[in-house]
Structure 1
Amino acid sequence: MTIKNLDREKVIENKEEQIKALQAAFESADPKEVAEKIITHFENNALHFQDMMNTTIREANRAKEQQWDDAVLAQRGVRALTTKEKEFYNKAIEVKSFDGVSELVPPTVYERVFEDLAVDHPLLSKINFQRVGASTMWVVRKEGATTAFWGDVCENIKEMVDHGFRTFDQGMYKLSGFLVVCKAMFEIGPEWLDRYVRAFLTEIVAAELESVVVIGDGNKKPIGMIRDLDGAVQNGVYPEKDAIVLNDLSPKTIGREILAPTTVVDKDESGHPKRFRRYKGVTFILNPYDYAYHFFGQTTKQRDDGVWMFNNFPVPELEIVQSTSVPLGKMIVGHPKDYFMGVASEAKLESTDVLRMIEDQRLYLVRQLANGRPLDNDSFRVFDISKIGEDEETP
């Protein structure tokens, strides 16, 4: 079974009513704006979503006809379900809807969504994802911090707490997305329905989550890597860090401007380095366009035997991560693990009678609590790389 072709069909019926229905479900600063974004996103990508459903249905039918074994199913992203997950999907299949069964959604479904995010999106795979409860107090250990001291017992404990760990009084914000499902999807079995749900949620959440990790302004959303934690916060918005101009990729410039700061754990009141850690490599996070335009020519050399060598950076233990969320002309440098993202153990799957798309399709609202921020203001540095390679002739 496939979904009816959408050509010449009006994709969104009663658009204003659906925006109002979504708006009522939100509790953010501007729920109407979020609702409009979700409906517009569906409207612009309806054919893509239809193709996702049709592809899943075709593969599920092939698997049944050809009796694929567990190894083949695993390669196709179909995983073994827990008892709770089977109970949830079988109940949804029984009523051919997620209505009335959303309270049964096992936390493991959403946990696997974030695991899939980490696998398919390089930057998200490297940050410090943690499952957290409803508590808003986060305690994380500082990398490179001293964890043993000489002195009286009580002083030891106090200093270890003061210098070995960092505490955040961090609230949680709603990460809202949506899930489109047609009736035919409830006929393919729980394992395939699970694969589709995870794939859809992963795709919907990925771009927004990576965006806030990089540039989130902190206003009812996580604080991104490029934000200045010590800057003046206006209306909940953290300012961007001043970008340090990087004129070249010479070893001297890289050593002083990029590598040396990564070894500093703490500074004195004058801003001079006070405590250090061993250099353990560094990560460059930049836009794919900037990588090609500014970096590729600088780091590509031809050997005497004619073979071209790529990514010859004068940087030990360098890792390059490309992200379309990084603003053009800028590069973020640091250790992605120094970005902490807390994700709540529970999420909600909701719908209303209004949230129906064309024919037999329904849109379900997904809400996940999450928040994140760099461990401290020195975790990431921002560089202006717009001048690199501009004054050199192309060989």
Structure 2
Amino acid sequence: MKFDEIDKELQLKVKELLDNAEDKGEAIYQAAEMIVAAKNKKLIEELKEQNARAAADEDYRRSLGLHSLSKEEKEFYEKFKDIKQAVTASQIDIIPTSIVDRTLDDVKKASDILELVEFAPADVKKWIVGEHSGVAVWGDLTAAITGELSAELSGLNIEQHKLSVYLVIPKAIRDLSLPFVDKYFTAILAEAMQDGLVKGYLTGDGKTGPIGIMKQIETFKEDGTADDKATLSTVTKFSPKGLSGVRKTLSNNGKRTVSELELICNPLDEAEYVDPALYGEALTGGYRNTSFMPINKHVDANCPQGKGIFTIKGVYTMGATSVQMKEYDQTKALDDADVIIGKCYANGRAVDDNCAVVFDVTKLVEYVLPVTQVTAGA
């Protein structure tokens, strides 16, 4: 939540706190707690109400479908209830990998872009990514069985990069029973991680984060960052001929079948270029999707304006080995919340450079309904 997105009354309170504080460092984090509490007010109140009702109504508790915590998860959240004792500047507590996996599942459900990504299990430090192709040959039982299977494999070192997120945990939540602490924790962790993971998937430079699909996976600049993919300027319409080059590239020289396309674009480009090219007036009135094949549109501000991306599912792998937390050194003693740094060690890359095509979205032209002129007979 940005400062200008909060209501005026809270803005004034935060401004007054910062203007009058003798200890600016502590005031900043108190202000952060006020903003986060306002942002998550609905979720906090909902969980408090559910917690109180569930304590007295077992049927209601079962209806909530709360996650059944493992022994490791319970031990983590028991410590989490007194974060200043459990997690100090000199002691790092690691979130159980089962919580990381569930959080990533939640992230995928909340982001249609990340549904395109394959996530490696959180307890795996190295993951093999690749594709295979080949033929299987039938023969008589007594005959030699021949076949060929070729594979292009590469290793993904998941502990390569670090995604930092800042979490403010209200004490009101830590007073709830453990399943509700878990519900809040995974919700805000997923929200905090989502934007960073999407950005890494799209534009990660390969040096400080994953190699994004807009980058080349094998070619790097002198500064260690991955080279940008070439931007096509030949995609002007979503017709069979207009998309032939895109489909040929995504097929990886005919090794993959491309039955539908995933189109990623910036919100401004969606309005100005993508929708006018994708939708056209129907003869019966209204508008219809004019594409000859399924195009699934994904709109996100992390996609650079002026550029669109065509890709397919299942060709990009991302992994996170762990999420580590520690109390931020400068938070001191806050009365109502603790500020925590979460560091997610993760990485990601595509199986090949042909898994995504970057194009100049401004070259798209508006779809115009074809007009057929009929000449009446004499």
TM-score, reference length from structure 1: 0.75
Counterpart selection for 1:130 from 120, 124, 142: 120
Q: In 2 relative to 1, CA 392–9 (structure 1 residues): closer, same or farther, beyond 3 Å? A: farther
Greater per-residue strand proportion: 2
**Are 1:281 and 2:234 matched, yes or no?**
no
Question: In structure 2, what is the Cα distance between the partners aligned to 1:186 and 1:96?
Answer: 12
Q: Quote the residue 2:152 is aligned against.
A: 165
**Are 1:142 and 2:131 matched, yes or no?**
yes
**Are 1:382 and 2:369 matched, yes or no?**
no
How far off its partner does 1:242 sit? 1.4
How far off its partner does 1:45 sit? 6.1
1:127 aligned partner, one-letter code: V
Indicate the SS of the match to 2:81: helix
Question: In structure 1, what is the Cα distance between the partners aligned to 2:128 and 2:156?
Answer: 9
Map Cα deviations across residues 247-304 of structure 1 (whole Å, 9 max, x no partner). 5215243342222322234xxxxxxxxx533333221111222122112122333334
1:212 aligned partner, one-letter code: G
1:311 aligned partner, one-letter code: N
Q: In 2 relative to 1, CA 321–104 (structure 1 residues): closer, same or farther, beyond 3 Å? A: closer
Is the contact made by 1:215 and 1:226 (CA closer than 8 Å) also made in structure 2?
Answer: yes
**Are 1:320 and 2:297 matched, yes or no?**
yes
Q: Quote the residue 1:34 is aligned against.
A: none
**Are 1:333 and 2:318 matched, yes or no?**
no
How far off its partner does 1:383 sit? 0.8
Q: In 2 relative to 1, CA 16–293 (structure 1 residues): closer, same or farther, beyond 3 Å? A: same
Map Cα deviations across residues 131-169 of structure 1 (whole Å, 9 max, x no partner). 255644x322305x226589xxxxx99x74xx3131236
Question: In structure 1, what is the Cα distance between the partners aligned to 2:358 and 2:225?
Answer: 18
The aligned length equals 342
Counterpart selection for 2:109 from 119, 138, 155: 119
Q: Quote the residue 1:245 is aligned against.
A: 233
Q: Quote the residue 1:204 is aligned against.
A: 192
Map Cα deviations across residues 322-363 of structure 1 (whole Å, 9 max, x no partner). 22211111111121421111221x321111553248543211
TM-score, reference length from structure 2: 0.78
Q: Quote the residue 1:269 is aligned against.
A: none
Q: In 2 relative to 1, CA 90–277 (structure 1 residues): closer, same or farther, beyond 3 Å? A: closer
**Are 1:60 and 2:39 matched, yes or no?**
no
1:86 aligned partner, one-letter code: K
1:309 aligned partner, one-letter code: Y
1:350 aligned partner, one-letter code: K
Question: In structure 2, what is the Cα distance between the partners aligned to 1:189 and 1:244?
Answer: 54
Q: Quote the residue 2:338 is aligned against.
A: 362
**Are 1:343 and 2:320 matched, yes or no?**
yes
Which entry has the higher C-alpha Rg, 1 or 2? 2
1:331 aligned partner, one-letter code: G
Q: Quote the residue 1:80 is aligned against.
A: 68
1:313 aligned partner, one-letter code: S
Is the contact made by 2:101 and 2:122 (CA closer than 8 Å) also made in structure 1?
Answer: no
Is the contact made by 1:53 and 1:196 (CA closer than 8 Å) also made in structure 2?
Answer: no
2:131 aligned partner, one-letter code: K
Output the aligned Cα RMSD. 3.4
Map Cα deviations across residues 33-78 of structure 1 (whole Å, 9 max, x no partner). xxxxxx8xx799654411245434422332245446146534xxx5
Indicate the SS of the match to 2:179: helix
Indicate the SS of the match to 2:229: coil
Indicate the SS of the match to 1:228: strand
Q: Quote the residue 1:290 is aligned against.
A: 269
Question: In structure 1, what is the Cα distance between the partners aligned to 2:318 and 2:115?
Answer: 11
Q: In 2 relative to 1, CA 281–312 (structure 1 residues): closer, same or farther, beyond 3 Å? A: same
Q: In 2 relative to 1, CA 173–96 (structure 1 residues): closer, same or farther, beyond 3 Å? A: closer
Indicate the SS of the match to 1:222: coil
Q: Quote the residue 2:18 is aligned against.
A: 10
2:45 aligned partner, one-letter code: R
1:193 aligned partner, one-letter code: V
Is the contact made by 1:53 and 1:185 (CA closer than 8 Å) also made in structure 2?
Answer: no
How far off its partner does 1:85 sit? 1.8
Is the contact made by 1:174 and 1:369 (CA closer than 8 Å) also made in structure 2?
Answer: yes
Question: In structure 2, what is the Cα distance between the partners aligned to 1:207 and 1:63?
Answer: 28
Q: Which runs of 5+ in 2 are unaligned?
A: 1-9, 139-145, 370-378
Question: In structure 1, what is the Cα distance between the partners aligned to 2:22 and 2:305?
Answer: 38
Question: In structure 2, what is the Cα distance between the partners aligned to 1:341 and 1:312?
Answer: 33
2:340 aligned partner, one-letter code: Y
